[in-house]
Amino acid sequence: MVSAPATTVLVHSPYLGPASLRPLAGALAALGHPVLLLDLRVTVNAAPVHQRLIGVFADAVEDSLVEGELVLVGHSGAGPLLPAFADALETPVTGLVFLDAELPTPGRSWRDDAPADRMAHLKAISRDGLMPRWDRWFAPEALSAMVPDVRLLEEIVGEAPEVPLAFLKEPRPTVAWHGPCGYLRLSEACGPACAAARELGWPVRELDGHHLAAASAPAEVAAPLAGLIADLGAGR
């Protein structure tokens, strides 16, 4: 008897919302992959952000009543939390995919490994302990070039939360993950993380796109992502 395919759980960046991955969810579903798209924005408005994210993630998956095995796909800043997300679930997780994402750094914060001037800049533009919305870190034309669809860009921007600066100083969870992992690079900026994943022996796919390609070019992202998910299943 053929087992049911694992459900792909799409986890958006803490700095964005589900609209950034909704087109990808539709493209994966069109390929025959069961998909669960979460909305974790409520978790990032107060510290401790990591702890709140993990708790609400586990509740959201449980409340979805999804059955069978899961593959977790984390975009951008959700990547370092994937092992902790998997550990928080009763439902079996068969693999993790890092989608143009940072890799886990257990026990270390973002600030520990970031350039000092980058942290200083974010601190300087923060107000009342909150960083500005992610879209305000860039020139407007940079975002419109990545997401030409005006309505979709407005939805993505409208969902972007103000995240506490303390999030960057919180140590990341020290949770071990010994299952299969894969990496899908969308942008040049994530080249180092992708190279590190390859050195770890993970299956890797690379696109010459940009960080929001899951929104603006979902079919082009869904195809290699589906291939990665198949690779992880074959490696079990």
For residue range 144-175, list pLDDT tens digits in order: 899 999 999 999 999 999 999 999 999 999 99
Containing 184, the helix (H) or strand (E) segment is strand 181-185
User: What's the pLDDT score for residue 140?
Assistant: 78
Residue 1 has a pLDDT of 37
Q: How high is the pLDDT of residue 15? A: 94
CA-based torsion, 65, 71, 72, 76: positive or negative: negative
pLDDT for res 112: 92
Which tens digit of pLDDT belongs to each residue from 176-198?
899 999 999 999 999 999 999 99
State the CB neighbour count (10 A cutoff) for residue 42: 12
Ordered by start, the domain boundaries in the chain are 7-234
The CA–CA distances, whole Å, from 118 to 129, 187, 220 equal 16, 19, 31
The residue ranges of the chain whose pLDDT is under 50 are: 1-2, 235
Give, in order, the Cα–Cα distances in Å from 68 to each of 30, 57, 87, 154, 180: 20, 17, 16, 35, 17
Tell me the CATH class for 7-234. alpha beta
The reported pLDDT for the residue numbered 3 is: 59
Cα separation, 77 vs 162, whole angstroms: 14
Please report the DSSP string for 98-163 in residue order.
Answer: EES-PPP-TT--HHHHS-HHHHHHHHHH-BTTBPPPGGGGS-HHHHHHH---HHHHHHHHHH----
Give the position of tokens 């390609």: 213
Give dist(CA 66, CA 31) in Å, integer: 19
* Residue showing tokens 């929104």: 215
Which of helix, strand or coil describes residue 168? helix
Which residues is 70 bridged to in the sheet?
Answer: 7, 93
